Structure 1
């Protein structure tokens, strides 16, 4: 029986572990915390089948100037932290040209096409359907011109990729979400994405399935990973464990571990914040407020507001300025109630410089594999890329061409 250690208990790690387990592998999942407590916990809870294009970096001067001057809420930066972000951001900007973005979109859309199908299987087997709603989500536009431009892009996505949407004018939006202010231009309702009332809970449900099927969950420190004559070993709370293969699914911490083995993988690390609110009125479906750079979603703990990207140091203290602006903007739309937690949650999204995940074998080290760098879509894509990696590790022909995701492309 083949053996593997999967390092990282987020959606990507749990999805990878389950797909290896399906192929008869003996799998141990190792994390410093319980599964689903880091980046996979803090998102807006949307399995985004409509996200057929990865997020490029803005290239027009007006948008970049607004970001630089702090006039947009979707991106914020700490000046003292910019030197450590400069290199990855420049490469991200280079990869965001229209022609390079088109190439990335082809590779990205192949992954997104498998997202809901792979989740669907795990949801049913994990008995987690109570966490899922299959009714899509809405993107609000406060300016008619912005709505028209977004509609044109949506029509292009529908033509090229078959994604389904509906444009809501102001009165239709008011009927769909009667608790919202009634003077808004409208929204796009993406019809096919699924929403999750407890993102961390879904990862936990998948991890529970993994354990029921014979998998082992252990607490441990990924930085203790060492190569041995027969494979790999790592220290855990239950002692040292060994396996022939190891998979690095540590999200934003993956490059730190891979440096030990001679690899320097550039990532754009985007911090995000969230907070829950109770006591007001709840939305029917998640709503993304593009003009103000945040999303709000009805969840088990109340309405969750999630922010855009903050470029800061990994160990920098919380500076939830974006959350404050988002909260004020949300209160201008509806009564969200009062804050539930005393302090906001925050975590880091790992975004590769070319907008594609890093997936596959590490060619210089036998039995070392990687699966990280999904940008804003690790929660959506974890089971899909987990299956692809398991196919590669098991000697099967992957469902899609995996060459765009190889680690040695950088």
Structure 2
């Protein structure tokens, strides 16, 4: 039966949700305060990470914990004043990161990652976005022989356990594959399954244009104006009040602002991240992760994008320059780096849950209210895959993957 739906949030997850619901015959209104793809989806490394079969855990090794605690690496930073408020959720995240628990979580997570590239594929073609996508994978590179051996062992495990494809590269082979490198690495891995996007925000915009070309409505509006209206939901937009039978919260790091007043105390938090584009005399052939430091070097239409790891801080706190400055030093060791393209770095937030899995499904206590958020580092990768899962649940059909691990009521809310 056709229903009318407001989808709140026009990032990759929200646009993908809107497209899947539209394809099922529903009347969909997509609402955001900005143009599609201008928030979290804009700022990532532009990878559709088919190899990311395990979500990122918190470390348990003492040496790594000390390194992060002392903020010695650009992979992790934090605002000291934020830690007391974050500690209960970080403790739960650390508990879920214990090897036995993380292995169970990864088993659920991998069911979605397995469909990441295949769910993007049709939309890339239909949206005319082939010019944005290269299907040649990306590189991990390690400075130290010991970390290279550990990384290679993990890659082999991913291949054996999940079927992920890779090629091992010694230092000489990596330099031959990437002549722009000025640093000699101990070795690397070429993940061959992922796809690289040279303008992630533009890919979201192309998907949104596909949605509107097929009759979908796109409006500017404030998600905080969402209210129950009889048996449905209403929202104030720039084009006036809108009312539908259902509403989907796909607001990423802003989801809690909407659901908390409704009584949903889900264990959510954010990891912030930075990027900046730089001019380079010679571009990399594909993205490269300096794996010892957690710094991604991603060729983009705007230049070479340097992205940081995770910063633990309040979502709206002022930016801190420390992490990106460290990342820039790593990048300058790796290759010749020119001047920044932008006057100021970009800062965004990743929406996380303490069990590392997204929240997908019906709100337990509000008929017609639905959730699709909490994708952490992989919203850009997983948007189409979780959009399809969401549409299955919305229509009451048997989900194409088991939805149980991702349902909102797993937290008891």
* Same fold per superposition (TM over 0.5): yes
CA distance in 2, matches of 1:174, 1:61: 33
Name the residue aligned to 2:402.
401
Matches within 5 A, 1:239-258: 239-258=240-259
Deviation at 1:95, TM superposition (A): 0.7
Matches within 5 A, 1:63-212: 63-181=64-182, 183-212=184-213
Name the residue aligned to 1:9.
10
Name the residue aligned to 1:276.
277
Name the residue aligned to 1:304.
305
What runs of 5+ residues in structure 2 fail to find an aligned partner? none
Name the residue aligned to 2:221.
220
CA distance in 2, matches of 1:33, 1:73: 30
CA distance in 2, matches of 1:293, 1:14: 29
Runs of at least 4 residues of structure 1 off by over 4 A?
none
CA distance in 2, matches of 1:50, 1:183: 25
After superposition, what is the alpha-carbon deviation per residue over 1:344-375, rounded to whole angstroms, capped at 9, x for unaligned? Answer: 00000011100110000112111111011111
Number of corresponding residues: 410
After superposition, what is the alpha-carbon deviation per residue over 1:173-192, rounded to whole angstroms, capped at 9, x for unaligned? Answer: 11101121252211111011
Contact 2:183 2:335 in 1 (8 A): no
After superposition, what is the alpha-carbon deviation per residue over 1:358-396, rounded to whole angstroms, capped at 9, x for unaligned? Answer: 000112111111011111000000010001101111121
CA distance in 1, matches of 2:227, 2:335: 53
Contact 2:280 2:304 in 1 (8 A): no
Contact 1:170 1:182 in 2 (8 A): no
Deviation at 1:81, TM superposition (A): 1.2
CA distance in 1, matches of 2:280, 2:147: 32
CA distance in 1, matches of 2:183, 2:391: 49
What is the DSSP-based 3-state SS (H/G/I as helix, E as strand, rest coil) of the residue aligned with 1:291? coil
Deviation at 1:279, TM superposition (A): 4.3
With the length of structure 1 as denominator, give the TM-score of the two structures. 0.99
What runs of 5+ residues in structure 1 fail to find an aligned partner? none
Contact 1:53 1:105 in 2 (8 A): yes
